[in-house]
Each structure stands twice: as structure tokens, then as C-alpha cells.
């Protein structure tokens, strides 16, 4: 794959698929600009070489043209982050766009309106992709968050360019995952948390041959504990996945992977932040209680494994971190990963909830890399080939 360093953009128009699907508040202000910040290095490289950048993105899931999903709301923030005034056009195809593109000078940035205002985008329509391709000399994909979707702007468009380039952010995402999945350094530890085993089965099966330690936390741990004969009270469980849980443990043992499950939990009677808490062994939870966070001994056990690791993948929280009183396990885990990173380990955080937790508790800066794409990262961890990346090869 060609990278931005392999190419000189002088006098070239580059159309860049960015992921500006950012959260907005009721006043349509951007509340988290990290995806815009992440796209900046690629845009700046194009401009500094003496080229111009045409940015295209989606925002939300609009049904037709809806003002609340207009990218016009983010122009000010993009201008502020990139440090260059951003021009905006009210559509992504059509005469107005053609005119704006024709007038675009070297060193300038043009942001197109939300791609998903046209249903051809999600349908992967070839004519729509070709129309987008006519605006530029070069195509850059820098949207990891949508690389697992075969949409017009992420995949189909690439065939119309001789020069199709992987952006700096996309390159960093691929390299970080590669570092985890094909590391020569040992030990490698994966922390897989979250509510359900079912959503992470393929990830666990694909990473088993590549890791030395597997920490299983969060709601999914109860399915494993119950499968092993433990009493989990009213805790979340997938009864139909118990056989599978035992199978995963067997596979791990056969591949010399040490699996670490929680040994204690913070147990409560109601799913409520202010519920009265007690600490109980995870396999002896009182009938009318449920576990909502990892207990102190589990936190300490996990921290020990983390601190001895050279490569760490964190995907999923250890408890209901959205409720302040049940966030301690997730925070302790993040702090242990931060400490290991400071001491030379490589840490990758990915997946919506773990990224949200890392940001919420001020831990993101302590990690080696925080992924910008939840679904895309999961699919790469599952060993799938992503259409957006394949199209650049």
C-alpha cells in the first residue's frame, strides 16, 4: 500500500475520506474532537506539499437530508483544529460542488456535505463513487472507523484512481493492531471485557494463538463462572453460551494461554448507583444479588498480570463504569495499563466502551494508542479483511 510519505501532493487535489462522525450537543457544538485531531496530520501533509484537500465524511444516520446531521455544524471546529480556514459546500455531488472544486487553490481545504444524505453512499453505488472520484487526482482513505464498510466513499471509489493512498491515521491503526497480533515481544496480554461473550467469541478465538494471558472481565465473566459450576446470583449471564465458555477455556489450555477470571465482585440487590454494596467471591454470589464491578482482589490480580506484560490489548470494561460507584475495577485496570506503558510496554485500547472509559477517567493519554474505530477494530481482531483497506492494496 502507498502511504502519504510515498507521494508528493504538489499541485494535486486529494480527496480524503475522513471520519468526522463526531458527537454534537444540543447547540450542535462538537463535544469530542479527537477524530478531527486524528485526521490532521494527513491533511497537513497534503497542504504542506503544495496540494489541496477535499474532505468527505458521514455524520450520524440521517434519513435523507436532515439539518441536524449537516457537516456545516463542524466547519468552525475543523478550521480551529487544522489551523486553516475550511470552505464548505452544501452537497457532495452536483454543479455547486464541481464549481467549488474547480475554484479550490493549492493550500486550501474544502469540506463536502454529509455523504449519507445520498442513499447511494451506503449502497456502495458505483456511479456515485465515480462522480466523487472526478473531483481529485488522488484518493486517500484515512477513515479507520468506516473501513469495515463497503460504502461508495470508503471502498468503491478507490478503483477509479491510479494513486490510492493509506492516510496517516489509517496507517497507525493498522500498525498498532499488527504490533499486538504479530508481536515478537512477550508476554502479550489481552483484556476482553464487556457484557456478552457472544459479541466477543470470534475475537477471543482469533487472538488465542497470539497471546500469553487472557483476562476476562465484565458481565461476560459470569457466563464462564456459571459454566464452571459457580453460583452467580442474579448476575448477567448467557445461559446458551456456557458450553462455548468451557470450550474457550479448553482451547486456551491447549495453547498454553493463561486465562484470568475475576475472583470477587462488588455485589448489589438493585441495578442502581446508590445500591448497598458488599464484596463476595464471584462463584458464591448471594441469590438475590448481582455483580456490577470487579472486586479488590480481582483488581489486584489483574494489575499484576498487566504490569508484567510487554504488549497489552484492552477491549471492554470490567464493570458498569457508567455508574460512578461501579467504575473502580475499570479505573484500576486503566491505571495498571498506564503504569505498564510508562515502563515500556505497548498498549492498545479499542472498542467503544473501553475508549469511552479511558477518556472519561483521563487515562487515554497514558496509553500507547487509542483506536478511533470500534467495529473496524473488532473485525480486524476477528481476523477479517476490511474492504476499505483491501481497496487500497
Indicate the annotated binding residues for substrate.
19-21, 35, 58-61, 116, 149
**DSSP letter, residue 307:** H
Q: Which of 296, 362, 375, 360 is nearest to 335 (CA)?
A: 362
**DSSP letter, residue 76:** H
> How far is 155 from 387, CA to CA, in rounded Å?
6
Residue list, annotated binding site for ATP? 200, 291, 322, 351-354
CB count, 10 Å around CB of 52? 22
Please give the angle made by the CA atoms of 372, 376 and 381, to the nearest 5 degrees: 110
Q: Which residue has the cell 504479530?
A: 182
17 is catalytic: no
In the set 87, 196, 310, 359, the catalytic residue is 196
Read off the C-alpha cell for 392.
Answer: 487500497
Q: Which of 288, 292, 277, 270 is nearest to 221 (CA)?
A: 292
Q: Which of 9, 3, 7, 8 is nearest to 107 (CA)?
A: 9
Q: Label the pairing between strands 264-268 and 290-294.
A: antiparallel
> How far is 75 from 67, CA to CA, in rounded Å?
14
352 is catalytic: yes
Residues 332 and 299 sit within 8 Å (Cβ to Cβ): yes
- The residues that bridge with 285 in the sheet, in sequence order, are 232
196 is catalytic: yes
Helices (H), ranges, the chain = 34-49, 75-82, 95-102, 119-123, 126-133, 168-181, 201-207, 221-227, 242-254, 296-307, 328-342, 352-360, 374-381, 387-390
Cis omega (within 30 of 0) for bond into 185: no
> How far is 315 from 319, CA to CA, in rounded Å?
13
Torsions phi, psi for 316 (to 5 deg): 115, 140
In the set 2, 307, 352, 359, the catalytic residue is 352
**Burial tier of 184 (Cβ tally within 10 Å: 0-12, 13-18, 19+):** exposed
**Burial tier of 11 (Cβ tally within 10 Å: 0-12, 13-18, 19+):** exposed
In the set 12, 13, 35, 172, the catalytic residue is 35
Residue list, annotated binding site for (2R)-3-phosphoglycerate? 35, 116, 149
329 is catalytic: no
By annotation, the residues acting in catalysis are 35, 196, 352, 375
Amino acid at each position: 500500500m502507498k502511504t502519504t510519505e510515498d507521494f508528493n501532493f504538489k499541485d494535486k487535489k486529494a480527496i480524503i475520506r475522513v471520519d468526522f462522525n463526531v458527537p454534537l450537543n444540543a447547540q450542535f457544538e462538537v463535544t469530542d474532537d479527537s477524530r478531527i485531531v486524528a485526521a490532521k496530520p494527513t491533511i497537513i501533509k497534503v497542504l504542506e506539499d503544495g496540494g489541496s484537500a477535499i474532505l468527505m465524511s458521514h455524520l450520524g444516520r440521517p434519513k435523507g437530508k436532515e439539518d441536524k446531521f449537516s457537516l456545516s455544524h463542524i466547519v468552525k471546529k475543523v478550521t480551529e483544529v487544522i489551523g486553516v480556514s475550511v470552505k464548505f459546500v452544501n452537497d457532495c455531488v452536483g454543479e455547486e460542488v464541481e464549481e467549488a472544486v474547480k475554484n479550490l487553490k493549492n493550500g486550501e481545504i474544502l469540506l463536502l456535505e454529509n455523504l449519507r444524505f445520498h442513499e447511494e453512499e451506503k449502497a456502495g453505488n458505483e456511479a456515485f463513487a465515480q462522480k466523487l472520484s472526478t473531483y481529485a487526482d488522488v484518493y486517500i482513505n484515512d477513515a479507520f472507523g468506516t473501513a469495515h464498510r463497503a460504502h461508495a466513499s470508503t471502498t468503491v471509489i478507490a478503483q477509479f484512481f491510479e494513486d490510492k493512498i493509506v492516510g496517516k491515521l489509517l496507517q497507525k491503526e493498522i500498525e498498532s493492531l499488527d504490533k499486538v497480533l504479530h508481536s515478537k515481544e512477550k508476554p502479550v496480554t489481552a483484556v476482553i471485557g464487556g457484557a456478552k461473550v457472544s459479541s466477543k467469541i470470534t475475537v477471543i478465538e482469533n487472538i488465542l494463538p497470539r497471546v500469553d494471558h487472557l483476562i476476562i472481565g465484565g458481565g461476560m465473566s459470569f457466563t464462564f463462572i456459571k459454566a464452571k459450576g459457580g453460583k452467580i446470583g442474579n448476575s448477567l449471564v448467557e445461559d446458551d453460551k456456557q458450553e462455548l465458555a468451557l470450550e474457550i477455556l479448553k482451547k486456551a489450555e491447549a495453547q498454553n494461554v493463561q486465562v484470568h477470571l475475576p475472583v470477587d465482585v462488588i455485589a448489589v440487590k438493585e441495578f442502581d448507583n446508590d445500591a448497598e454494596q458488599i464484596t463476595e467471591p464471584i462463584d458464591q454470589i448471594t441469590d438475590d444479588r448481582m455483580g456490577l464491578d470487579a472486586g479488590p482482589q480481582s483488581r489486584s490480580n489483574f494489575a499484576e498480570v498487566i504490569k508484567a506484560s510487554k504488549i497489552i490489548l484492552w477491549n471492554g470494561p470490567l464493570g458498569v463504569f457508567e455508574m460512578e460507584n461501579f467504575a473502580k475495577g475499570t479505573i484500576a485496570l486503566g491505571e495498571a495499563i498506564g503504569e505498564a506503558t510508562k515502563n515500556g510496554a505497548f498498549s492498545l485500547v479499542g472498542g467503544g466502551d473501553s475508549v469511552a472509559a479511558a477518556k472519561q477517567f483521563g487515562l487515554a493519554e497514558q496509553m500507547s494508542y487509542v483506536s478511533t474505530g470500534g467495529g473496524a477494530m473488532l473485525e480486524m481482531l476477528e481476523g477479517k479483511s476490511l474492504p476499505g483497506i483491501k481497496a487500497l492494496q
